[in-house]
Structure 1
Amino acid sequence: MPSSDLMTTASAPSERVLDYPDNRLLIDLCGAYDAHLAAIEKGLDIQIVRRGNHLTLMGEAEATEQGEALLNALYTRLEGGRSVELADVESLLRMGNSAVGTGVRDGDQIEMPIGGSIEIQTRKKRVEPRTEAQKAYVQSLFNNELAFGIGPAGTGKTYLAVAVGVSMFIGGHVDKIILSRPAVEAGEKLGYLPGDMKDKVDPYMQPLYDALNDFLPGKQLAKLLEDKRIEIAPLAFMRGRTLSNAFVVLDEAQNATSMQMKMFLTRLGQNSRMVITGDRTQIDLPRGVPSGLADAERLLAGIPKIAFNYFTSKDVVRHPLVAAIIEAYEADTAASG
């Protein structure tokens, strides 16, 4: 475990020297071209100097203390065999700043808001939720037959749901994966698309294909799609079906009408899991048409064994600007409301 030497008093600008004995882990801790250190410097307004196996943190006492705890937590993560990416560092800075600032500690360590023991194993990669909300969401997907994930773009709602579906499929817990979303244009008319039915609907389904490509080898995915053990279809194609022994995901559910949502929810069959994801701030339905996601949230919130999981801008795992953009729009909505 790294050691620290506090050089000055806590009330003045301080200098902390951290020693990390494993050079291989230190390289991963710092990131390519010290990108992780640069993000921490910017996020905490400190300076970090790297000399050999030592990192020297310089700045205000509270900020260097936060930096030390953050670096130690990330190093402990690496010691446990887990990877550290820039998105992990940025996520910890967004979430951890509030945790650090309020003194949330476990002994001398920050209670790590990323990682933990929850992991999703797929054919191509191991997926790990990065925030507390994501961890609770993944746990909810394994524990409940029907779960909702509601929150802004970039919080991993669909990505994690598809990862859990692939994990349950390769583990033999379900026989098929069914992914669906409403074929609603995002505010602009695209006109008549050429080709057969698959060619016409595939552009709407592309985000689901992208997620699957992250978790399954290309040839295996193509074979599973051909055998219809994995199905990707518009919401309208779900009418009249009973979805048994399947892991079912409805993405962009805010664009389902109330009748479509009721239709979809009542497709749930024996030995199946169903996940509904959506963002209440990105409704593309015609003016005056109520969102089925809002109705489902209102009507089903009190039913046992139906889980609702909520995300905020602090859970965004895309580019850090995405979180800032979401917060700016939320602030404008609050001010105009």
Structure 2
Amino acid sequence: MAVTDIERGAMRHALSVAPNGPRGVNPQVGAVILSASGEILADGWHRGIGTPHAEVDALSKLTPDAARGATAIVTLEPCNHTGRTGPCSEALIAAGIARVVYAVADPGEDSAGGAQRLRDAGIDVDARVLEEDAAQLLESWLTVQRLGRPHVTVKWAQSLDGRAAATDGTSKWITGPAARADVHRRRAQADAIVAGTGTVLADDPALTARNESGELFPQQPLPVVIGSRAIPDAAAVRRHPRSVVQYDGGLAEALDDLARRGVQRVFVEGGPTLASAFVRDGLADEILTYVAPVLIGGDRLALGDIGVATISQARRLTVAAVHHLGDDLLVITNPTGESEN
């Protein structure tokens, strides 16, 4: 059965309610129950660990048998496993749902297979409806599921000629207030913000997320420092609302531990050395480059050695977006995993 415009509209509605649920170990998922005539009977979202999933949340708002013959629209494939709650696929079957439309397939080893379970029960199933929109919402959770580590955004600010600082090491401020405000907004969306000990000792960053008035956002990312050098007791990061976590080294090991702590989104802005290490090790999922229309010259490059010895090894990037922020540009790219050949 072909996906209808009404079903696509319902998927947009499901995507709009999904962020009502908290970010965390579980994905933000939205669901809509449509009557046979295309009327929205109920919507729902996952409200956190141990609570009913989005499909069950939506079904709970209906009287018994009200969902019989209806269509369920879900942003993520209904799960097929028993954890703190039962399988959503079984709940949909028990409710008498006749058709299920979902956006993104569940990549989990234990939770996948819901679509096939529904088909085996005689339910009509369609997939990949508004998949790109749903994947963007679920981006960090999908990275954790597929790679076993948090989704990593690497950020740096640079002059038009690619410098991160002047010859004397000064770098405040290369970009303007609009760009800096954008950085803090993105920090607030992260679960952890990462810097190297070199940056902590040289620049004394607070690793907080602040609004344009300088006040802390209610949600603060976990401050993380990479490197073996001691962090002074008087360092600004020691006054962070959350206790700083430090790793001696080993980026992959640090990310593994952060994943175990429930961190899904990591924001890296620890200077050229740390940024280069994440890129070199293939651990950058997204790169934010803030470019200011100034020339600095010198050897203080925004990015160092990333393991490229010849042009055929150059790291390929896909441009996802370009934004004007005052006089500055923000270029958002994603590594393709390919070299120029």
TM-score using structure 2 length: 0.30
Structure with bigger strand share is 2
Greater RCO structure (CA 8 Å; 6+ sep): 1
TM-score using structure 1 length: 0.31
Structure with bigger helix share is 1
